[in-house]
Amino acid sequence: MKGLTILGSTGSIGVSTLDVVARHPDRFKVVALTANRNVDKLFEQCREFHPAYAVVADERAADGLERRLREAGLETRVLTGVEGLERVAALAEADFVMAAIVGAAGLLPVLAAARAAKRILLANKEALVVAGDLFMQEVERHGAEVLPIDSEHNALFQCMPESHRNGLERAGVRRILLTASGGPFRTAAPAMLATVTPEQACNHPNWEMGRKISVDSATMMNKGLEVIEACWLFATGADRVQVVVHPQSVIHSMVEYADGSVLAQLGNPDMRTPIAHALAWPERIDAGVPSLDLFAVARLDFEPPDMQRFPCLRLAYEAIAQGGTAPAVLNAANEIAVAAFLERRLGFDNIPRVIERTLERMPVQRAASLAELLQADRESRLLAEQLVSELV
């Protein structure tokens, strides 16, 4: 039986992970669950799965959760803050770590999991976007294992030969075809983007996701971040990563080989599929996902992304080309801009403007240490907040 820590258990990825785990009680045991503010849901998860540890953001929430757990007769130990997250990410009894904390807050515990040589089920983008070089160095140095959970990167992993770890060219891979749904505004008139509301942006046509990632999908920044991730996961340059808009979200991504073959992974748009794949790899287990009905799908459409409608995708390609701290700056500015949009302090069409101006004003440095990356992250957030105020 494999022990599992879930970083971010109350979010959509965490909930889907627990759904898969509950289907296989003979294979997996939950040893730790973590949440930021949703203590009520965390308590219910603890009642169902009886983890040894639970982690919450602050002391007051921890006191309340611990009291409720004791009243329910549970022995789950409650920890707090980043230190608590790093501790449960490195627990000896945790074979696997689901890294599903959204944002840069998930970076330190994911690094702790790498240093503890865990199988990391990576749903946190920032480990690769902010600190890709450092993170992959830690994975290699300590013998950790990274299995991607994003449906697109997991699809690529499934379509790759194992020899891809020695380089895509040597493995006969010509390029990566990263599919994108195009989000809710793929065909919208550009003029209406200025009036988009948070509710509209979060109404994804195919996927049920958290609010931040839903907005990223609507701006296509999510795909831009995935381009950066793919470069680190598969040790390649952005020139080998082509974004393909595929509105049905049935093909989750494709790999083109030197002989002209293209391998694709298909399935219903349900995150339990990549989660189950990563939990059981190299085996396959039931994920609770219904079979794909190809007759109901009937057609598969493809189109190039519109870089003018979705400038965030262009900005991501530019950031990975610059290298160094540029992707960290991109990510930080995006988080600030999206948060301001969700709080109705910034227009949807101003999200890329905040990001682009932050990238223009922040000097790009070589990312030699985690401290430098985190400093670039902090400074970018301050600058982005200032730019949000100027655009209001």
323-391, CATH topology level: Rna Polymerase Sigma Factor; Chain: A (1.10.1740)
Please indicate whether residue 191 or residue 287 has the higher confidence score (pLDDT).
287
Q: Give CA separation, 106 vs 85, 324, 389, in Å.
A: 9, 20, 27
d(CA 16, CA 276): 10
Average pLDDT across the chain, whole number: 94
d(CA 250, CA 297): 8
pLDDT over 70 percentage in the chain: 99
- Per-residue pLDDT band for 207 (boundaries 50, 70, 90) equals low
- Under DSSP, the state recorded for 298 is -
Q: According to CATH, where is 1.10.1740.10 located in the chain?
A: 323-391
DSSP assignment of 231-292: HHHTT--GGGEEEEE-TT--EEEEEEETTS-EEEEE--S-THHHHHHHHHTTS----SPPPP
Per-residue model confidence (pLDDT) at position 113? 98
Per-residue model confidence (pLDDT) at position 32? 98
Residue-wise pLDDT tens digits, 143-172: 999 999 999 999 999 999 987 877 888 889
- Per-residue pLDDT band for 197 (boundaries 50, 70, 90) equals very high
- Per-residue pLDDT band for 346 (boundaries 50, 70, 90) equals very high
Most confident of 55-59, 189-193, 253-257: 253-257
| pTM, two decimal places | 0.91
Angle between helices 132-142 and 107-115 (to 10 degrees): 20
Q: Is 179 helix (H, G, I), strand (E, B) or coil?
A: strand
pLDDT over 90 percentage in the chain: 83
Per-residue model confidence (pLDDT) at position 59? 87
Whether 206 shows a pLDDT value over 70: the answer reads no
Residue-wise pLDDT tens digits, 263-299: 999 999 899 999 999 999 999 999 999 999 999 999 9
Per-residue model confidence (pLDDT) at position 106? 87
As a whole number, mean pLDDT of residues 189-216 equals 84
Per-residue model confidence (pLDDT) at position 18? 98
Range of weakest confidence among 29-43, 175-189, 206-220, 366-380: 206-220
d(CA 129, CA 233): 11
d(CA 179, CA 182): 9
Per-residue model confidence (pLDDT) at position 208? 65
In DSSP terms, 303 is beta-bridged to 245
d(CA 178, CA 245): 8
Per-residue model confidence (pLDDT) at position 343? 96
Q: C-alpha angle with apex 238: 240 to 313, nearest 5 degrees?
A: 120
As a whole number, mean pLDDT of residues 380-388 equals 97
Q: According to CATH, where is 3.40.50.720 located in the chain?
A: 2-148
Whether 37 shows a pLDDT value over 90: the answer reads no
CATH of region 2-148, choose from 3.20.20.20, 3.30.1130.10, 2.40.10.10, 3.40.50.720: 3.40.50.720
